[in-house]
Amino acid sequence: MDSWFQSKWFVRAIALVLAVSLYFVVYTEDDKERKDIDFFGNTSETQTMEDIPVSVRIDADKYVVSGIPESVAVTVEGTNSAVTRVVKQRNFDIYVDLTKLGEGEHTVEMQYERFPEDVAVFIEPKTIDIVIEERSTQKFPITVDFINQHQLPEGFEVGDYQVEPKEVMITSSKSVIEKVSIVKVFVNVAGQDEPIKNREVPIKVYDSQGNELRVRMEPENALVSAEINNPSKVVPVTLETTGKLPKGFKLTSMTSDVEEVEIFGTSHALADIDEVKAKVNLSKIKKSDQIQATLDLPKGITAPEHEQIDVSIELEQTKLLEEVPIQVRHLENDRTIEFKKPEGKKVNVTITGNEADVRNVKVDDLRISIDVEGLVDGTHQVKPIIEGPEQLAIKPELDHFTIKIN
C-alpha cells in the first residue's frame, strides 16, 4: 500500500477521480439553482394556448363532417426563446386530415404543422370522434320575425315588409338538412318610429324543437325593409257627464268646439272604436262657462291634435230672493191695508233663468205690487203684479195675496 502512494501515477489517478466527482456535485447543485439552464444559457419553458382554431382537410364538395371542435388547447414546451416565438407568431396549423376517409364514424388524431423542431407540441384533445356524411344542398324560404313589437312607440305597428333574398341555399349533411324546420331572420323594432330600409340581419336555421343548426348558408345575411305605420281614423266626439250639479242648477246645453277627431293607434286597437267620449264633471261646475275636457281615450290610442277640447256649458239657475217688498197701488189716503198672506208686506220670490242672467239679480231688481183701485172695505184675494228682467221667470211664493182694506 505504501508503495502505491509513493507512485506518482497512482496519486494522479486519485486526483482525477476526485476532480470529476467534485465537478458533478457542483454542476448538479448549480443546475437546480439555475432552473434547467441548458448549454446555451436558455431557460426551459412550457406554455398553453387556448382557443386555437381547428382546420379540416376533406373533400368539401362531396362530404360534410360533424364532431370537429371549433378550437383546442395547444401546449408547447422548449427553450424560452423558442416557446416565446411560437406563442407570439402563432404561425402554425392545427388540423385533422380526413382526405383518405369515407362516410361513417371515425376516431382521428389531431395533427399539427409548422412548429419549430426544438419545441414539443401537445394538443388537447389528442383524438376526436367524427362523423363524415355525404353533402346535401337545398333551398329554404326565409321568414321574418319582428321582435320587441311591444316596445314600439304607442300606436305604431309593423306594416308591409320585404326580405331579400326570399330563399337561402343551405348546405350540410343529408341528416341535418332533413332536420331543418325554420329559417328566419330577427328584426328588432324597439323604439322604431320610421321605416326600416335594407337592414342587414343574420339568417338563423332551427330544427322543429327550436335548436339552432350549424350549417353552411349562401348568403349568410338578408336585407329587410319594413313600413312602420301609425294608423288613424276620424270618429265623432260625444260628451258624457259625471257627478251632479249643485242644488239650484240645471244643465240646459253642452256643446264642444269639435264634432270629430282623428285618433291614432294600431289597426287592431282602432277596429272597435266608433266614437270617443269627453267626460265633464258637473259637480265642479257652478256657472255657465266654457271649460276644457280631456278625451277619454282607450289605452294605446292617441289624439295629438285634440288632447283636450273646449266645451260650452249653459246652466239654468233657480234662485230664491227673500222678503221682496210689496208695493200698493191706488190706495186712498184715508184708507188702510193689512196683509194677511203674506205677512209683513213682503214676499219671497223665486227667479229662474240662464245662470249668467240670474247670478247678479238682487231684490232691488224686482218690483212686486198689487192694485187695490175699486176695492171696497173688507178682505180680498188679489193677484200680484210682477216686474223684473224679461229673460227671467219670476214667481212669488203665493199666486194671490190676501189683504184686508179698512
- Host H or E run for residue 89: helix 80-89
Strands of the 157-164 sheet, one edge to the other: 143-147, 182-188, 196-206, 221-229, 157-164
Last residue of a domain, one of 135, 160, 188: 135
Name the grid cell of 42: 436558455
Name the grid cell of 199: 337592414
Residue 13 lies in a domain: yes
Residue 273 lies in a domain: yes
Dihedral, 105, 109, 114, 117 alpha carbons, nearest 10: -170
* β-bridge mates for residue 404, sequence order: 338, 379
* Residues 307 and 338 grouped into a single domain: no
* Residues 289 and 340 grouped into a single domain: no
Residue 360 lies in a domain: yes
Confidence check: pLDDT of 18 > 60: yes
Residue 38 lies in a domain: no
Task: Give the CB-side neighbour count of residue 303, counting CA atoms within 13 A.
Answer: 24
Q: What is the pLDDT of residue 30?
A: 42
Confidence check: pLDDT of 29 > 70: no
Higher pLDDT, 163 or 23: 163
Rounded CA-CA distance 163/198 in Å is 8
Residue 62 lies in a domain: yes
* Residues 182 and 265 grouped into a single domain: no
105-139 residue pLDDT tens = 999 999 999 999 999 999 999 999 999 988 889 99
Q: What is the pLDDT of residue 22?
A: 60
* Residues 50 and 130 grouped into a single domain: yes
* Residues 260 and 334 grouped into a single domain: no
* Residues 208 and 288 grouped into a single domain: no
Q: What is the pLDDT of residue 14?
A: 66
* Residues 146 and 80 grouped into a single domain: no
List, in order, residues 6 or more apart from 334 with CB less than 8 Å away. none
Last residue of a domain, one of 135, 167, 200: 135
Q: What is the pLDDT of residue 159?
A: 94
162-206 residue pLDDT tens = 999 999 999 988 889 999 999 999 999 999 999 999 999 999 999
Closest to 137 (Cα-Cα) out of 240, 201, 61: 61
Residue 225 lies in a domain: yes
Residue 200 lies in a domain: yes
Higher pLDDT, 15 or 45: 45
For residue 28, name the pLDDT band (cuts at 50, 70, 90): very low
Domain containing residue 170: CATH number: 2.170.120
Q: What is the pTM of this model?
A: 0.55
Q: Evaluate whether 137 touches 125 at the Cβ level (below 8 Å).
A: no
Q: What is the pLDDT of residue 38?
A: 46
**The domain containing residue 355 runs over which residues?**
318-405
For residue 230, name the pLDDT band (cuts at 50, 70, 90): very high
* Residues 390 and 356 grouped into a single domain: yes
Confidence check: pLDDT of 277 > 50: yes
Region 311-327 average pLDDT: 92
48-69 residue pLDDT tens = 999 999 999 998 888 888 889 9
Rounded CA-CA distance 168/138 in Å is 8
Q: Evaluate whether 371 touches 309 at the Cβ level (below 8 Å).
A: no
- Host H or E run for residue 3: helix 2-6
Residue 176 lies in a domain: yes
Task: Report the domain count for the chain.
Answer: 5
Neighbour-count burial for 142-162, b at 16+ CB within 10 Å, e otherwise: bebebeebeebeebbbbeeee
Classified as helix, coil or strand, 81 is helix
What average pLDDT does the structure give for the chain?
A: 88
Maximum average pLDDT range among 2-6, 300-304, 349-353: 349-353
Confidence check: pLDDT of 4 > 60: no
